[in-house]
Amino acid sequence: MTTDTTPLWTAAEVLTATGGRLEGLAFEATGITFDSREVKPGDLFVALKGVRDGHDFVAQAFAAGAAAALTERPVDGGASVVVGDTLRGLEALGAFARDRAPEVRRGAVTGSVGKTSVTQAIRAGLALAGPAHSSVKSFNNHIGVPLTLARMPRETQRAVFEIGMNHPGEIAPLSRMVQPHAACITNVGPVHIEAFENGEEGVADEKSEIFAGLGPGGVAVINADLKWFDRLKSAALRQGARVMCFGSDETCDARLIDFQPEPGGARVSARVWGRDYVFTLAQSGFHWGANSLAVLLMLDALDVPVETGLAALSEFAPLSGRGQELLVALDEGAFTLIDESYNANPLSMKATLTSLGARRASGDGRRIVALTDMLELGPQSAALHAGLAEAIEAAQVDLVFLAGEQMKHLWDALPAPLRAGWAADAAEIAPEVARSVRPGDLVMVKGSNGSKASTIARALAALDAANGEHA
């Protein structure tokens, strides 16, 4: 965090970084944002042009206490630095913040599933080792990455950045912007495949571009269990990287030996750098076996000991909508809500269903899933949705509620006894799910953010509030 005596940005630095022109008095900024709704006193407001023109909200930013604005034209109400293009100006601020702290060890994370959670778990480990910095939320695109760099406090020792994509050509420039010392690919799956002519292969190649920003001696951390591993490893070696791998094979630098879900988390057995460890996680999803090893290797590459990483992982709770569990009180008992509503794709769907299948409901409780459409799957969407039927049966799910036109393909593929209800959208199916739950049930909600799975999760969580009790 910045302090009153150490500003994040001075007017002189903003001018040097951007080559802009100061209009008004010199200033010091303690933060930076492009969202006028999130402006805090002392922030530098960046007036980006998108669906809405940020210049229309400069007055609102100043009213909220902004110290100055980065704009493309002079504005009233406060100091501004005028530049030719505010997005290019934000990128320049990010590069300047990176270069003014050359001692900072930087990591970067991408993957089809789990990159936000892995990034935040890495940050938890970095924070135990000293002043740390990371992206917030899922700030992983052409705006979020330079913004995260520009927000990096001067006293930072280590930082980790999330890098995402939804079409070809996005990752390489962002990696070069970050210039990471270590870069990780958590996994590759059929996500955003509608943007790639060669499908998942194209996704794999795009993910491998995270190594583009690695310098001499840089570390590439790769999931060795992926069918694309050799392809990803070759890309890293072409960049001159030192490859570290995690997975189930005995040749891995970090090898997963066993993963046992437990109430409120899991117990993991692993071998890291030839040493055996048994440790606990505050995460119960099977995918966290591999994720935890990715975190440990990334921390090692950023000069954080394994033991420090294990301490961080033991306390790292699921992020909102990414596996959070809530015990919801009913009149005669309680059921467990597993909220996976933030996002979904075939890879993460199958992983969470496997995890659900490994859990025991209490008493006469049932396993129930409420799923909404997975998005951006292109021509393969129907088959990928229908293909979830096998994982649902393997997990011994008792009732399946579905919402969305794409989930109708899964509905048609399910055995009749499992079909509890289908509706066109999440809002329509939510009351049906809420009426069906009973004490002892394990209820998992999952779907893409755009298909509003969170509507169902909120309806289920509200049952607890309706009873006047909180677990």
If one looks up domain 101-315 in CATH, what number appears? 3.40.1190.10
Residue 136, class by beta-carbon neighbours within 10 Å (0-12 exposed, 13-18 middle, 19+ buried)? middle
The CATH architecture that domain 9-84 belongs to is 3-Layer(aba) Sandwich (3.40)
Which CATH class name applies to 324-466? alpha beta
Note whether 23 and 81 are within 8 A (CB): yes
Per-residue pLDDT of the chain (471 residues; tens, 9 = 90+): 344 468 999 999 999 999 999 999 999 999 999 999 999 999 999 999 988 999 999 999 999 999 999 999 999 999 999 999 999 999 999 999 999 999 999 999 999 888 999 999 999 999 999 999 998 878 999 999 999 999 999 999 999 999 999 889 999 999 999 999 999 999 998 777 777 788 889 999 999 999 999 988 999 999 999 999 999 999 999 999 999 999 999 999 999 999 998 877 899 999 999 999 999 999 888 889 999 999 999 999 999 999 999 999 999 988 788 888 899 999 889 999 999 998 888 988 998 899 899 888 888 999 999 999 999 888 899 999 999 999 999 999 999 999 999 999 999 999 999 999 999 999 999 999 999 999 999 999 999 888 999 999 999 999 986 554 433
> Cα separation of 246 and 109, whole Å?
14
Note whether 377 and 194 are within 8 A (CB): yes
Please tell me what DSSP assigns to residue 269. E
Closest CA to 71 of 84, 52, 61: 84
Residue 13: its H or E element = helix 11-18
250 contact partners, CB below 8 Å, separation of at least 6 = none
CB atoms within 10 A of CB 64: 17
What pTM does this model have? Answer: 0.83
Return the pLDDT at 133: 97
Which residue's structure tokens are 């996976």? 340
Note whether 146 and 99 are within 8 A (CB): no
70-107 per-residue burial string, b: 16 or more CB within 10 A, e: under 16: bbbeebeebbbbbbeebbebbbbbbbbbbeebeebbbb
Return the pLDDT at 189: 82
> Cα separation of 218 and 236, whole Å?
9
Return the pLDDT at 467: 56
Report the interhelical angle of 86-99 vs 171-178 (nearest 10°): 40
For the chain, domain boundaries = 9-84, 101-315, 324-466
Which residue's structure tokens are 């006047």? 468
| SS3 state at 49 | strand
Note whether 255 and 271 are within 8 A (CB): yes
β-pair partners for 154: none
Note whether 150 and 135 are within 8 A (CB): no
First to last CA, the chain: 33
Return the pLDDT at 51: 87
Note whether 24 and 68 are within 8 A (CB): yes
| Token duo for residue 122 | 């890495």
